[in-house]
């Protein structure tokens, strides 16, 4: 099985996307005395600027900005999990926690664990691929690090502009046969040093990285060439629209990568940190990802790939029902909220429908409440892996993604 994780960096507002709160709209701009969040001083409730409707027989609800994802052909595949709670209110810590299981950073990313547990189906491509915008997410490559796992399992980042990988093309004055001979000589020297010095994971990984880079020169150009797709497919993903082109290309590339054996693909999309200008910000962000996400799920479904591909849409935390008065003016935005958030899952063995619930204001999860470690345990379970058995000895003990164990969220399993 494979995973495509769509990470909305900044923390999307759950009550402004997939978890409607009519009571919050009724209390709009009235004083809030709720505890929690980062905001201090006089606070007021902020009703969602969007209207909502039910889009599937399984109970999925969306704000009216989601036009393509609301198509029943796509929406009927979705599982909306409303019960997750994070631990941190700060972006870097929350990003690290969601991506690695540790708030401190430095531990292996989820994609590294998945690749460590299952390996790759294509020896000519990395098992774990990451795509970002020009600006890296907070914390940068720590979010897709191999941590204490062998370096071979770290994520390989594809750049959003220009050549996705630097030095992908061979030097024009060097034949492939010449490259092969030079690489063989280098590998022999490295192996001699490795044999003399004993076990050295970094050197062993460096040897393997040279070999993988050589194989990638032949394989990657074909996989990332989106011109091989029909015009109809390119338009389906929004490649003909400047608003959706970047994320659309990344989603289409994600499909091609898993189709060619890549185990775990992660795409970061920023701009969801809605402290101010909530309506304008979320409208723009939803427009940029709506069509590509719907196209990805539709495309996977039509190709009979969805049952073996888990698609995840998430941020690092949710938002508060209220905000505060800043500089004498009302700021129509929301603060950070680690007690409530929303996630979408499709394919990969998940059960369509709504799992969990938040309170009437969206301040906290109240049904089927689970910490992030349970989410990670569930993700591994869907891949056929047992978190308690997928361990690696480091620092004097066997370590695992969940840190100290967790439980499968059975309500999500088909």
Q: What pLDDT, on the 0 to 100 scale, is given for residue 286?
A: 99
Helix (H) or strand (E) holding 402: none
How many residues in the chain? 414
First CA to last CA across the chain, in angstroms? Answer: 15
Smallest CA-to-CA distance from 364 within 32, 98, 35, 79 is with 35
Same domain, 146 and 191: no
In degrees and rounded to multiples of 5, residue 376 shows phi and psi of: -65, -40
Q: Do 145 and 199 lie in a common domain?
A: no
Whole-angstrom distance, CA of residue 158 vs CA of residue 135: 13
**Residue 242 shares a structural domain with residue 203:** no
Q: Are 375 and 381 in contact (CB under 8 A)?
A: no
Same domain, 308 and 200: no
Pairing, β 370-371 against β 264-269: unpaired
Same structural domain, 24 and 169? no
Domain shared by 115 and 240, yes or no: yes
Same-domain check for residues 287 and 192: no
| Helix axes 110-118 and 372-382, enclosed angle (nearest 10) | 30
Per-residue pLDDT, averaged over 386-396, amounts to 96
For residues 175 and 286, state if they share a domain.
no
Is the Cβ–Cβ distance between 412 and 355 less than 8 Å?
yes
Domain end marker among 174, 201, 221:
221
Give the torsion sign (CA, 7, 89, 368, 286): negative
Mean pLDDT of all residues in 246-254: 98
Examine the domain organization and report whether 249 and 394 are in the same domain: yes
CATH code: domain of residue 50: 3.40.720
Task: Show the domain range for 406.
Answer: 2-161+224-412
Work out the pLDDT band at 169, boundaries 50, 70, 90: low
Q: What is the largest CA-CA distance in the chain?
A: 73
Chain centroid to CA 91: 15
Point out the domain boundary residue: 180, 199, 221. 221
* Domains held by the chain: number: 2
**Same domain membership, residue 231 and residue 212:** no
Q: How far apart are CA 241 and CA 381, in angstroms?
A: 38
* DSSP E strand stretches across 315-396: 318-319, 322-326, 329-330, 336-337, 343-346, 353-355, 357-358, 365-367, 370-371, 392-394
Q: Report yes or no: 23 and 304 within 8 Å, Cβ to Cβ.
A: no
pLDDT tens digits, residue range 68-102?
A: 999 999 999 999 999 999 999 999 999 999 999 99
Judged against a pLDDT cut of 90, whether residue 317 lies above it is answered with: yes
Residues 38, 9: one domain?
yes
Task: Judge if 318 and 343 occupy the same domain.
Answer: yes
Q: What is the pLDDT of residues 45-73, one digit of tens each?
A: 999 999 999 999 999 999 999 999 999 99
């Amino acid at each position: 099985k494979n995973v495509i994780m769509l990470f909305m960096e900044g923390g999307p507002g759950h009550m402004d996307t997939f978890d409607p709160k009519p009571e919050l709209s009724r209390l709009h701009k009235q004083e809030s005395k709720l505890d929690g969040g980062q905001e201090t001083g006089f606070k007021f409730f902020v009703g969602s600027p969007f209207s909502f409707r039910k889009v599937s027989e399984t109970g999925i609800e969306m704000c009216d900005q989601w036009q393509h994802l609301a198509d029943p052909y796509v929406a009927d595949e979705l599982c909306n999990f409303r019960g997750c709670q994070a631990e941190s209110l700060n972006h870097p810590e929350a990003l690290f926690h969601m991506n690695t299981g540790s708030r401190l950073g430095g531990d292996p990313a989820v994609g590294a664990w998945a690749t460590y547990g299952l390996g790759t189906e294509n020896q000519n491509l990395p098992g774990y691929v990451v795509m970002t915008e020009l600006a890296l997410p907070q914390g940068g490559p720590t979010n897709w690090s191999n941590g204490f796992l062998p370096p071979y399992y770290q994520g390989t980042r594809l750049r959003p502009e220009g050549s996705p990988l630097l030095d992908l093309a061979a030097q024009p004055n060097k034949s492939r046969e010449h490259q092969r001979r030079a690489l063989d000589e280098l590998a022999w020297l490295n192996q001699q040093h490795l044999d003399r010095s004993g076990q050295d994971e970094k050197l062993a990984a460096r040897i393997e990285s040279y070999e993988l880079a050589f194989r990638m020169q032949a394989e990657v150009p074909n996989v990332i060439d989106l011109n091989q797709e029909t015009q109809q497919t390119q338009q389906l993903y929004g490649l003909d629209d400047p608003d959706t082109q970047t994320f659309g290309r990344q989603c289409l590339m994600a499909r091609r990568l898993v189709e060619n054996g890549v185990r775990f693909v992660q795409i970061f999309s920023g701009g969801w940190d809605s402290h101010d200008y909530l309506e304008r910000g979320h409208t723009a962000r939803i427009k940029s990802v709506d069509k590509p996400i719907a196209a990805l799920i539709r495309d996977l479904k039509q190709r009979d790939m969805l049952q073996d591909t888990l698609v995840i849409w998430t941020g690092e935390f949710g938002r508060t029902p209220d905000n505060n008065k800043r500089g004498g003016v009302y700021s129509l935005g929301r603060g950070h909220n680690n007690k409530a958030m929303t996630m979408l899952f499709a394919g990969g063995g998940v059960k369509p429908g709504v799992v969990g619930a938040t309170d009437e204001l969206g301040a906290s999860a109240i049904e089927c409440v689970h910490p992030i470690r349970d989410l990670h345990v569930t993700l591994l379970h869907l891949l056929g892996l047992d978190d308690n058995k997928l361990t690696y000895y480091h620092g004097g003990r066997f370590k695992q993604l969940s840190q100290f164990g967790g439980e499968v969220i059975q309500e999500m399993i088909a």
